[in-house]
Amino acid sequence: MLAGTAVLTALVLGLVAIGFKKSSRPPVSARFWALGMGVAMPLAVLTALVGTGLWMGERMQARPGPDVVTVQADARQWAWRFVQPGPQGQAVETENILFIPAGQPVNIQLTSRDVIHSFWVPRLGGKMDAIPGHRNLLRLQADAPGRYEGLSAEFSGVGYADMRFVVVAYPPDQMPDMKKTEGQP
């Protein structure tokens, strides 16, 4: 996005400079400005924006794969319950703390028990609603091990401000003891 903005800014400033430059040549026709700058330039910009959006959106699509971890996230007023793969592949249930392997894509299946909540980890990517009776899929990936704060970004009543959780990204070969940290973000 920064590179695209820089290119557009340079193009516009270049056109302004050309407009102020005195020249002995006859002025450029209005048809050139109407077609060249009124159609071609916006078409090129829109093509670049749509192409970038499609490419980025495709990467975020939740799809099964050999290295993809799947986690179930169930929202309720005012906590998150996560069911995730633990040691030896058995399911481990935690509250308000989600463990994911760093460097691997994670598909999160979002549901809600009561009202609409919104799952959001600002440092890891997109935000998606958890809706009662519906399952939404969100793909996240933490590129480095660490702790990432998450929250519900959808007002859901009195305890909404405290509906926070933590995502712990661990090195894939060092799975933490998930039971010791249950319910303690």
Q: What is the pLDDT of residue 180?
A: 56
> In sequence order, what E strands does 77-114 have?
79-85, 91-95, 97-101, 106-112
Rounded-to-integer distance, Cα 11 and Cα 99, Å: 46
Instruction: Encode the chain (185 residues) as per-residue pLDDT tens digits.
Output: 677 788 878 888 887 887 777 777 777 777 777 777 788 878 888 898 898 888 877 776 667 777 788 999 999 988 999 999 887 778 899 999 999 999 999 999 999 999 999 999 999 987 899 999 999 999 899 999 999 999 988 887 888 788 999 999 999 888 887 765 555 55
Residue 181: per-residue pLDDT: 56
pLDDT at site 52: 86
User: Given this model, what pLDDT does residue 131 score?
Assistant: 95
All residues at 6 or more sequence positions from 107 whose CB lies less than 8 Å from its CB, including other chains: 62, 63, 64, 68, 69, 70, 71, 137, 138, 139
Question: Domain 69-170: which CATH class?
Answer: mainly beta
pLDDT of residue 185: 52
